[in-house]
Chains A and B, each alone.
Chain A
Amino acid sequence: AQSVTQLGSHVSVSEGALVLLRCNYSSSVPPYLFWYVQYPNQGLQLLLKYTTGATLVKGINGFEAEFKKSETSFHLTKPSAHMSDAAEYFCAVRVVPLFSGGYNKLIFGAGTRLAVHP
C-alpha cells in the first residue's frame, strides 16, 4: 500500500537558516508527490508537486523539493527561513485505489510543524 512518512513532527530553525523537512514515500508505482502548507487557522495551499520529468521541483515562496527514487524521498528545502514560513507542512502521495475505475486520492503524511525563531 502507498504511504507517506514525515520525519519530525516539529522542526525549529532560526530566521535565515536552511529549512529541511523530510518526506519518504512508499509506492509500488511511479509516485505523484505533493507538498502542501497550512498556515494557522487556514486551509491547505499547494507549495509544489512532482509528476514526471525534472526531479528538482521549484515551488512558491522559495521552496523546492527533490524527488529521489533510489531513496524514496521527496524532501522539502528552503535556503533561508523567514518568519512567515512558520506553518504546518504536509507531504502527500496521489494513489489510485484498486477497483476505483482510475479515480485517485491523496494520502497525507502526519505533517511537520515548522517554527522559525529570530
Chain B
Amino acid sequence: DAKTTQPPSMDCAEGRAANLPCNHSTISGNEYVYWYRQIHSQGPQYIIHGLKNNETNEMASLIITEDRKSSTLILPHATLRDTAVYYCIVRVGAGGFKTIFGAGTRLFVKA
C-alpha cells in the first residue's frame, strides 16, 4: 500500500505558484520523499527528492517539515504544460527498492 496521502485534484492559475501537499506520517528514518509527475499518456518523470532538508532544482522546490511527516512540492511559476498527475512517494533510496505509487494529485493549470 502507498505510504502517502495526497489530495485527488488541485487547480492553479498559469504563472502562479502551485503548492502540492503530501502527508507521509509513517515515514521511516531511512526513507526519502520522491516526487514524480505523469503527463497524459507518457511515462512518469522524476522531479525531485529529499531526505530532511529542503531541496531545489530547475523544475521545483521540495519543502519537508521538521518532523518529516509531510512535504510540499512547489512549482514556482506554473505553466499549462505542468498540467499532470503528481505522485508523492516515500522509499528507501539505496539498495534493492521498489517504488509504490498512490493515486497522486491531478493538477490543472488554467490560463
A-B interaction:
no
Partner-A contacts on B (CB < 8 A): none
